[in-house]
Structure 1
């Protein structure tokens, strides 16, 4: 092996060791429980917009987008817009790097790579801040329920012109809503890309962690993922490309970051 291959092999061994280290993973889960109680994930921003993610998950987003190089990232749940800006910034970096490699001058607004955000309530101050951001030309937003007929029709229309699609689900965290989202959005994911279901950690949190929310242990994104993958296995589903839809857990990605709000939520289409 050359030095690059040796390093990559060493990293894979490190990640495999993490995946087998139950004590370490349990400690990471405990850390996440403490983080959630302290609202730790509210403390960060990306290029000036608040992003409700822990740094490890933001890093995972960067790795997924860079590896897949999608031309459309669909996100349900917008909040302050930090996640939209994160995705847009990585897409913009891909555009820049491709232009440099080709020896061409980059026209930022000519790129077909976009981020599409959906939220049932895009608050005016957040919309204004997102639209004023330098990366707003890469971002489109739809206001409405992510599972409403008119919204999914608009999403499918916008997705139709794109070949590589990635999906992040991060809106209403009840089992039924996330299950409905998976049925509607997972088929849009292209082969080799991801459907990430955020906040599966709710299943492992104390029952009284979310007293003012309609979700909790037994009714959350993690239970929806388990239910949906069971449907895929027993009933089968077809992707928007007309081919069989198969999603696998990406445990390499999950174990490498260790701390995540979405253990069991990184789903890769194969």
Structure 2
């Protein structure tokens, strides 16, 4: 039997229907967190690279990030937590096709060899800043740059304790405007058992998701974009995307 062709509109309608069904499938939800927890023992999200540098994201989150950037079209992206620089290179790659005009990478630890490797691969759109994301002087510097651009996307991916993430959310709210997007990284911590091999200060009761829940409850200026998590299976960023609506 010849396969019936469908329109793109029908395809998108079917995709949304299946995405909702996926979100509501309790068995799949249980399995995804169980599989993530098992793979996390082997640092699975640390095994992916962009232009030769570790990206420290799952492949699903990388695809989801480009989808968000394509639809929202931020002119400036602020990556808080540079690590090995893979995400900065990813944003810089997207900037060749999308209207991204500035990319800021901020971290408290930025060794010379990292800067040297990145400088040989990045464009002049990227600015590296060394310092704490909650340092008022650093914030003032970033805020001054941010004001030169229409729309902003911030990815919080540094210290994952509730206190630190909540401080970041409250601080960067001061420079965000209606339409800006914030992605609170590693909310997955809230859904899986603590990794006994990679010991950290954060856990199920003290993590980015608990910080985000507190922030959203007190700030009606933001909306949680729940639908962005509907089709995520192995993701660091479950229910972590918010948009400033006021």
TM-score by length of 2: 0.91
Q: 1:120 is matched with which residue?
A: 108
Residue 32 of structure 1, aligned match among 31, 36, 40: 36
- The alpha-carbon deviation at position 186 of structure 1 amounts to 3.6
Tell whether 2:205 aligns with 1:218. Answer: yes
Structure 2: gaps (5+ residues): 1-5
Whether the 8 Å CA contact 2:76–2:146 is kept in 1: the answer is yes
Once the two structures are superposed, residues 195-226 of structure 1 have per-residue CA deviations (whole angstroms, 9 ceiling, x without a partner) of 00011111223245366322112111111001
8 Å Cα contact 2:33/2:192 also seen in 1 = no
Distance, in Å, in 2 between the alignment partners of 1:41 and 1:208 is 13
Q: Quick one: structure 1 residues 50 and 208, their matched pair in 2 at CA, closer, same or farther if it must change by over 3 Å?
A: closer
Q: CA RMSD in A?
A: 1.7
| 1:64 has 2:68 as partner | yes
Match of 2:52 among 40, 44, 48: 48
TM-score, normalised with respect to structure 1: 0.84
Q: Check conservation: 1:62, 1:90, Cα contact below 8 A.
A: yes
Q: Which residue of 2 aligns with 1:144?
A: 131
The question of whether the paired residues in 1 share the 8 Å contact of 2:34 and 2:192 is answered with no
The structure 2 residue matched to 1:255, chosen from 201, 221, 230, is 230
Please say if 1:205 is aligned against 2:192.
Answer: yes
Structure 1 residue 19, shift from structure 2 partner: 1.3
* Residues matched between the structures, number: 240
Instruction: Call closer, same or farther: CA 1:32–1:190 in 2, change over 3 Å.
Output: farther
Cα 1:152–1:207 change in 2 (3 A) is same
In terms of fraction of residues, the more helix-rich structure is 1
Q: Is the 8 A contact 2:232 2:238 kept in 1?
A: no
Distance in 2 between residues matched to 1:72 and 1:196, nearest whole Å: 14
| C-alpha spacing 1:123/1:199, structure 2 compared with 1 (3 Å) | same
1:20-70 C-alpha deviation (Å, 9 max, x unpaired): 111112211112112211101111111222100010000111101111111
